[in-house]
């Protein structure tokens, strides 16, 4: 069921780094993004794919993890992503991709989860540093990075209590993500 996949598709930030993500998988997941909606059908997004340790080591320090968890610097060696996708926008086509990037990211992550992998969208990226490291031409804007691998953490969904939406990790290492209730999301301003 799609809902089960959506439920399983949490933001995973700790992985079994020893499990590699085959390039063929990464390509299939981009294919799911390729087939997704695109504003004006412009299809301006591009992807750089990485699944080897030396590249992953270069990309990792440019990313920021779990902003609410101030005392956690991010995944340790051994639990880091074993693959990345760098999502780019081709400025020669347009500088406005509306919400294509999010739709595509969700298609990629759902595909990954369906195959037993998982990941996290990383919007907090040192973009100029990453551009230099990967030799990305100015024609392409770095939109976000998808960190991918074999998840090695449990993530559960909680209810939002007293408006607190900050995710947190308990003493057993379980990551908790508060979600607002359905009745808070569905609004009606009539009478
Ligand atoms: C556009 C976007 C950017 C994000 N950027 C980051 C990020 O830079 N670092 C990070 O650790 N998580 C990032 N996340 C993950 C969110 O923190 C996560 O989606 C949120 O905590 C809810 O958890 P869930 O994805 O399991 O529902 C991002 C998510 C989205 C959708």
Other C-beta atoms lying within 10 Å of the C-beta of residue 55: 16
Q: What is the Å distance from ligand 1's center to 120 Cα? A: 6
> pLDDT below 50 — which residues of the chain?
none
In this structure, are residues 13 and 36 in contact, taking their beta carbons and an 8 Å threshold?
no
Q: What is the pLDDT of residues 54-87, one digit of tens each?
A: 999 999 999 999 999 999 999 999 999 999 999 9
Angle, alpha carbons 124-172-108 (nearest 5°) = 40
Q: What is the Å distance from ligand 1's center to 122 Cα? A: 7
Looking at the DSSP bridge assignments, the partners of residue 164 are 161
In this prediction, residue 191 carries a pLDDT of 73
Q: Distance between CA atoms of 188 and 134, rounded to whole angstroms?
A: 48
Q: What is the Å distance from ligand 1's center to 11 Cα? A: 6
Q: Distance between CA atoms of 146 and 157, rounded to whole angstroms?
A: 21
- pTM of the predicted model, to two decimals? 0.98
In this structure, are residues 88 and 119 in contact, taking their beta carbons and an 8 Å threshold?
no
Compute the CA torsion angle 159, 8, 127, 21 (nearest 10 deg).
Answer: 160
In this structure, are residues 108 and 33 in contact, taking their beta carbons and an 8 Å threshold?
yes
Instruction: Say how far residue 182 (Cα) sits from the centre of its chain.
Output: 24
83-90 and 118-122 as β-strands: parallel, antiparallel, unpaired? Answer: unpaired
> Could you identify the atom of ligand 1 that is nearest to the CA of residue 9?
26
Pocket of ligand 1 (CB under 6 A): 10-11, 13, 64-66, 120-124, 155, 167, 177
In this prediction, residue 53 carries a pLDDT of 98
């Amino acid at each position: 069921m799609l809902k089960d996949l959506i439920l399983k598709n949490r933001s995973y930030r700790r992985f079994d780094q020893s499990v590699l993500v085959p390039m063929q998988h990464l390509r299939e997941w981009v294919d799911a993004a390729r087939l997704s909606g695109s504003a004006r059908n412009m299809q301006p997004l591009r992807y750089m794919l990485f699944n080897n340790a030396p590249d992953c080591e270069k990309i990792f320090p440019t990313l920021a993890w779990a902003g609410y968890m101030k005392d956690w610097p991010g995944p340790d060696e051994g639990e880091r992503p074993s693959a990345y996708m760098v999502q780019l926008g081709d400025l020669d086509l347009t500088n406005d991709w509306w919400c294509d990037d999010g739709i595509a990211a969700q298609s990629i992550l759902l595909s990954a989860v369906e195959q037993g992998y998982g990941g996290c969208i990383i919007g907090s990226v040192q973009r100029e540093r990453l551009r230099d490291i990967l030799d990305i031409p100015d024609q392409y804007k770095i939109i976000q990075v998808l960190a991918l691998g074999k998840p090695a953490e449990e993530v559960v969904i909680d209810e939002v209590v007293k408006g607190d939406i900050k995710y947190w990790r308990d003493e057993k290492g379980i990551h908790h993500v508060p979600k607002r209730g359905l009745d808070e999301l569905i609004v009606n301003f009539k009478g």
